[in-house]
Amino acid sequence: MKSSNNLYLAWILLVLLVYPHSVSLFGSTQSDAHQDVKIFVQRLDQRIPEEMEKYEIPGLCIALVRNHQVVWTGAYGLADREQEIPMTTDALCRVESISKSVTAWGVMKLVEKGLIRLEDPIGLYLKKTDFPETDPDWRSVTIHQLLSHTAGFPLGSIGPDVEYPPFSKMPAPAEYLTSEIQGLHTPGQKFVYSNVGFNTLEILIEKVSGQDFSSYMTAEILLPLGMTRSGFTFSPEELPEIPSGYETDGTPVPPYVYPVHASGGLMAPIDDIARFLTAGKRGEQRVLDPESLTKIFTSHTDVKGLYGFVSDGYGYGHFVERLSDGRQAVWHGGQGHGWMTHFHLLPGSGDGIVLLTNSQRSWPFFGKVLLEWTRWLEIPPVGMSRILTASRVFLGVIILIFLAAIFLISFVIYGMIQEKYRFHPLSEKNCLKRLLSGLVGMAILALLLWAIKLPYFFLSSVFPASTPLLGYGLLLLAVGFILSSLCVAGNEERD
């Protein structure tokens, strides 16, 4: 009995000794988590303005998500550079192709209601007369293929040609898509990123739901997720809340709208997109079932080419990647005239980040912020941070082009000074060799002129700071080839 009492006393003493430390331990865990976010935000406050200035990015809205909770939102820079209006977290931003991620939720809601099936061909719901001038073969593609960019549809028109002033007269979505829908590849053959495919889903939603796309998405997805200020349309009163966009050369871009909305028409403040990232917590949101979320976040096709450089696959409205430690990450970016956006989410842990900028110069900037974010979480780098490596390689190529151009021009000029070469464009000596050199120079000039006239040049968005240097380097190289084609060796000419 005495030994039993001693045992009880020992247990009581142990509890009394450990209990205060237990309270302190759990309390410090919450405090440490809050302090951890605070320290990272201080790091962002230091680095982000520096990087924005480096890449000439006017404004940024950013949000952090931890354990499926929005823990911080912030804004940097300017919403309007000309009027010096500061960017705020209340700004109504163009999220561009992040719209596809939200649209995928809208389609899956129809699936859950039993109104459509993923394996159904789109022709079951859309008639030939909906797009009378298109090849009828488009009706064979399935909803699954449209959601996963495997329908074989093209990217579609982008840039100023498809932009309209807000509240102006535009083509109806079906009328607009009549000239867009076409099959480039066999359906299901491979991943081909397509705005046209997601805009076709917009027509599907309208046909099946009996509502216009914007009303359906607001009622079924946006409001239930707490995205109360988001929408695929906006009112005249909200127009002043939209920041100006900026092209790669800094030219301001006033607000605009597209005739179609599903692929890139969503307008939202940073808080709402952050809430969208938190909605993936299984079992705690009632908009979609866990099975639907699994399908959205599951890779349905391998991603190759340029997209394959930063991602492994594509689910429904989400790029999917597997980090080196086995974690799954899903993400989507957006790019429009004067805007770039991005979010990254780890569905397992509920960690995420959202970046919305009013600039087309933001991809390398995104790579740097994402690298800082992954270091903070102590996880392997995500695929988008590879843009930083690509930027260094791209700069190395530019340096080599400059060196080659300088060597070629210097070689010819030095030869002329030493009278080893003579300016003689009409000479027949080494005619074939000189003709080839001239053709190479002219081809480079033609390539530069073609790139300048493009409404959108991909390299300018990925490498905004380096692409102009590439242009100057190629111009110098073209001059070198053309100059060498106009000269002949002095001793040969004497012969």
pLDDT in tens, 155-208: 888 877 789 999 999 988 888 888 888 877 888 889 999 999 999 999 999 999
Host H or E run for residue 400: helix 386-417
What confidence tier does 356 reach under pLDDT thresholds 50, 70, 90? very high
Q: Where are the beta strands (DSSP E) in 160-280?
A: 245-246, 252-253, 267-268
pLDDT in tens, 70-97: 999 999 999 999 999 999 999 999 999 9
Return residue ranges of the chain for CATH 3.40.710.10. Answer: 56-381
pLDDT in tens, 424-482: 776 777 788 888 999 999 999 999 999 888 767 778 878 888 899 999 999 999 999 99
Single pTM value for the model: 0.86
DSSP per residue, 333-392: EEEETTEEEEEEEETTTTEEEEEEES-S--HHHHHHHHHHHHHHHT-PPPGGGHHHHHHH
Contact 463, 364 (CB under 8 A): yes
Contact 69, 284 (CB under 8 A): no
Q: Which CATH architecture has domain 56-381?
A: 3-Layer(aba) Sandwich (3.40)
Mean pLDDT of 328-340: 95
- Rg of the chain taking only CA atoms, in angstroms: 28
Mean pLDDT of 284-289: 78
DSSP letter at 253 equals E
Whole-number Å distance between alpha carbons of 2 and 13: 16
Between 392 and 454, the higher pLDDT residue = 392
Per-position b or e across 339-366, b if 16+ CB within 10 A of its CB: bbbbbbbbbeebbbbbbbbbbbbbbbbb
Q: What pLDDT was estimated at residue 122?
A: 93
Between 331 and 306, the higher pLDDT residue = 331
User: Tokens for 352?
Assistant: 């995420």
